[in-house]
């Protein structure tokens, strides 16, 4: 979240009269489903603007003020520009992390699991969250119909 906004925490996002706008490449990306997951588990509200061509375009939109937030991995946040500069200049504020334990580099930022405990998130939504963020532990599943052509099934096996 841009640090110059009134959203200092997810509590502020929950109370906001106007939801912050987050950027996404598309509905199949984590940058889309993470704000939606926060809505389901914590009662926040976001407007997700999908269609950015990639992370760089999304970052530029944040810098220009076109959107106020984006979801990305901790690895990406600590590995490349413009995130190094954003951190150095205090341009952004991390509101939540998805790991079961806090990353040492963000030791003051609550995890989704801590927040779900604080907000007494229902068990079904907790299970949904665990499934949605499990991809960082085992990768993304590939789902196909039973009658998948053999050449495509072989491709799937190579990707596994």
φ, ψ of residue 92 in degrees (nearest 5) = -125, 165
pLDDT tens column, 133-145: 886 666 656 677 8
pLDDT tens column, 10-66: 999 999 999 999 999 999 888 999 999 999 999 999 999 999 999 999 999 999 999
Please name each of the domains of the chain with its CATH number: 10-134 (3.40.190.10)
Query: Nearest to residue 19, comparing CAs of 32, 33, 7?
Result: 7
**Termini Cα distance of the chain:** 34
pLDDT tens column, 103-152: 999 999 999 999 999 999 999 999 999 988 886 666 656 677 888 888 87
Distance CA 17, CA 156 (A): 45
- Contacts for 113 with CB less than 8 Å, ≥ 6 apart: 100, 129
* pLDDT of 6 strictly over 60: yes
Q: Tell me the average pLDDT of the chain.
A: 90
pLDDT tens column, 50-74: 999 999 999 999 999 999 999 998 9
pLDDT score recorded for residue 138: 63
Beta bridge partners of residue 70, listed in sequence order: 23
How much is the pTM? 0.81
């Amino acid at each position: 979240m841009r640090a110059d906004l009134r959203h200092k925490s997810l509590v502020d996002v929950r109370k906001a009269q106007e939801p912050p706008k987050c950027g996404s490449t598309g509905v199949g990306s984590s940058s889309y489903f993470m704000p939606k997951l926060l809505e389901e588990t914590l009662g926040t509200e976001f407007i997700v603007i999908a269609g950015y061509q990639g992370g760089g375009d999304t970052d530029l939109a944040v810098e220009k003020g076109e959107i106020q937030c984006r979801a990305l991995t901790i690895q990406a946040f600590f590995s490349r520009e413009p995130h190094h500069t954003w951190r150095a200049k205090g341009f952004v504020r991390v509101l939540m992390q998805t790991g079961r334990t806090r990353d040492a580099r963000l030791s003051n930022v609550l995890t989704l699991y801590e927040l779900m405990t604080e907000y007494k998130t229902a068990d079904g939504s907790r299970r949904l969250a665990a499934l949605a963020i499990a991809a960082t532990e085992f990768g993304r599943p590939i789902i196909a119909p039973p009658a998948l052509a053999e050449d495509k099934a072989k491709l799937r096996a190579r990707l596994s």
